[in-house]
Chains A and B, each alone.
Chain A
């Protein structure tokens, strides 16, 4: 999913929840500063502790005409329970940022903080798009094949946790939303959409998946390719993979676990044997190339789909480049009016 922004873009303001990330507020501020230098049409509204933001901004090259600050005294940490924390801290940065977006002070929200708190804050302040019953949390996953005008190596998976039990209606809605998003961000005119199931046959899977399959097969505006299995995710068989939040989350965690294990095995091999180390060294340029292609810092973040306003969730470990790219993704989604695209898709 590329960070490209279209030509002649209209000014867009993106609210950044500055607090509660793994690398601290300064990293988010640096990302916003980077954005102010690279993308003249994107204005940033930094929400968080004003003193911390100002200290970081003063030390960072930025364009002050494109940055404003909203002080928010509290923030929600990564390890806090979202519901309780939001109730206890109504002026937490993510809640204030979501409110400002709802009030029109900004057109989208980017947060690298607590995912649950972000989703909940959006649910409290944003409206669901007519026809959408439940929002979906999407994520991207690097795949073997590329897609779209920019050769995007990432496929989109949704839902990965917002809606634990999705109905057939929800799955169809997720497919429409994912397809619209992929069309805009990957510049992929006809993204291939698939349902995640335990077999490629239409009748495979629980009743809601079977029913969703039947309904998606009849939708002409969705390039529905049927069911895919877990093995197809890294292959990149589909550009948009639709599932419910429970399965999606399990699947995502498993993929992350496999990735971490591979890295650990490589590190083990590097330490254990000179021969293996030599082998890894020979492969290093190829490994680096794969790393570059699949670097999630280039992608920036993934959206919560279904609300009338945009929320891009950046990874908690995001560094400034990833934050800046998340801002670009948000601006691109706003500029291309994702909400209207989803509404259109749902009418058909």
Chain B
């Protein structure tokens, strides 16, 4: 193993680590705000990438039907509640977001012919299609059980994951897809070449992390999310809607997931079930951060990425074993050093 190999592996590890970092941030966000361990996080990675690939292949992605279907169900439930509660002023909003928005996307895809669009427009359309699924999933699966225990929420989470993977197979088939890279430019750094897509991944990850930092620190919605994360009851007493906080955190998680998928689709082949393993590695990183600390989770993600890259060189057959074994010493150390107080109820 010479210097060049070390550098190449390091580059590979950091690129993957950046994606894991984004996912671990989303997992920490969703957990702190809603106490949901968001296993379906990875499905948004696959949905984002494969939706984009479908546009490029000139196909209508199946996620469109999912968006339309979920929109109709959400609209029906919310309308019933709104009518029963006499809140007629909400009807317009409910119809607009859950029926009008999918209809607009529908029209855009059928009449706009996204096949010939520039890549950036296709990416935006894919995000516009996949990201709203996040809040809809929250509305349908988690909101009715928002006050349940962490374990119940975890079980719901597993169920949603299995349902979404199954739908993914139905929508996109068993074979994978790749998308063209954002730019063909390459950077020559000494003896190694850094591809344009790698720079895109690193740049976008850093930018997103900075944007999230600003969002939590400076905007009223970000502060509301933080307040809910610190104390749900207290936040509610201060007039923060926990339903809004839940939907917002799922929206962000879906956006981060789908965008991560689009970022790595040119580097690797994405399958309908790829997301789970990527999400799981993000989860290992989130655990390193104790499901609470953003910076530690991000650092953990880079560690996971590097560990993965070097172990694939030294002992490729045991790569996953090494990565997932990492969780055991971390959990031991966590349980020995922290005096955790159950906050439940």
Chains A and B come from one and the same complex:
no
